[in-house]
């Protein structure tokens, strides 16, 4: 009987020792969890405020805040589990393998996501800009995390994944306040060059949208097979580009005759020899 009591007593002592040891670890883990979550919350708020102050795109602020919050919470949970005595080596290995598998399965999506983050952070273009990218030309309608939407001039909606858009070449026609408008006009051989320059200068002076500075340029660029070709270059504010371009073409067609100028067309001279 005394032996049984002695055995039970030893088991009770071991249970008490284990309870005290494990209980203190649990209490310590709970304290670390509460403090860690509180610190994570403070850091997340600080990150959000810093992003707002740095003028990061508003659509990116919630993403970075949530990402920071999730990463910090994972670190806190791993720390608590280590304090309690749970072996984390196998857990971290499983977590890493799962992350690798998910990353490989979603490689294309993740590439587009990363491209969206780059576009929204560095802003190579913004909504309303007229751009050319990936073989498409249009006005930016929407920029999301995964894709960018363009409206073409003929009102087609083009959706371009952000991955190739962020890594490929891109032309932003709206990035600068001013643009140069280029034409090539031809006159017939025999027409007076001074009359051509007078006509073009008159057309330029009549249009207030054409800027005085930088100065306009008119130069003879080519002696073609059927025409004398001139290069004409003027500067305008970016929104006026296409209106000025088309109206100048119309003026040249309608009013060249007023300056005794002729719009050339391909001609061929045929010489006939009478052989008797």
Question: 159 near 114, Cβ under 8 Å?
Answer: no
Domains of the chain: 7-105 (1.10.287.1260), 124-172 (2.30.30.60), 178-259 (3.30.70.100)
Q: 125-131: long-range contacts (C-beta < 8 A, 24 or more apart)? A: 125/170, 125/172, 125/174, 125/175, 128/174, 129/172, 129/173, 129/174, 129/175, 130/172, 130/173, 130/174, 131/170, 131/171, 131/172, 131/173, 131/174
Summarize pLDDT for 227-255 with one digit per residue, the tens.
Answer: 999 999 999 998 899 899 999 999 999 99
33 Ramachandran zone, left/alpha/beta (phi>0; psi -120 to 50) = alpha
pTM of structure: 0.57
pLDDT tens, residue by residue, 73-96: 878 877 777 777 666 666 666 666
Q: What is the mean pLDDT of residues 147-167?
A: 89
Host H or E run for residue 48: helix 2-53
Most confident of 34-48, 122-136, 187-201, 253-267: 187-201
């Amino acid at each position: 009987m005394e032996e049984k009591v002695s055995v039970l007593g030893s088991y009770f002592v071991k249970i008490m020792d284990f309870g005290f040891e494990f209980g203190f670890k649990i209490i310590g883990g709970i304290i670390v969890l509460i403090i860690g979550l509180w610190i994570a919350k403070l850091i997340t708020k600080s990150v959000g405020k810093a992003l707002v102050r740095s003028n990061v795109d508003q659509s990116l602020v919630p993403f970075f805040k949530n990402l920071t919050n999730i990463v910090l919470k994972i670190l806190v949970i791993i720390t608590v589990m280590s304090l309690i005595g749970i072996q984390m080596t196998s857990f971290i290995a499983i977590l890493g393998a799962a992350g690798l598998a998910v990353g490989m399965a979603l490689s294309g999506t993740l590439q587009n996501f990363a491209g969206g983050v780059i576009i929204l952070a560095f802003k190579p273009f913004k909504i309303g800009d007229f751009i050319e990218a990936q073989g498409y030309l249009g006005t930016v309608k929407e920029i999301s995390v995964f894709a960018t939407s363009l409206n073409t001039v003929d009102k087609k909606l083009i959706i371009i994944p952000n991955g190739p858009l962020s890594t490929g070449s891109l032309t932003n026609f709206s990035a600068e306040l001013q643009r140069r408008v280029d034409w090539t006009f031809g006159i017939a051989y025999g027409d007076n060059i001074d009359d051509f320059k007078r006509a073009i200068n008159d057309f330029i002076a009549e249009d207030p949208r054409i800027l005085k500075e930088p100065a306009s340029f008119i130069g003879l660029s080519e002696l073609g097979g059927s025409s004398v070709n001139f290069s004409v270059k003027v500067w305008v504010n970016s929104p006026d580009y296409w209106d000025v371009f088309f109206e100048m073409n119309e003026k040249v067609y309608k009013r060249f005759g007023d300056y005794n100028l002729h719009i050339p067309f391909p001609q061929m001279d045929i010489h006939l020899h009478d052989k008797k």
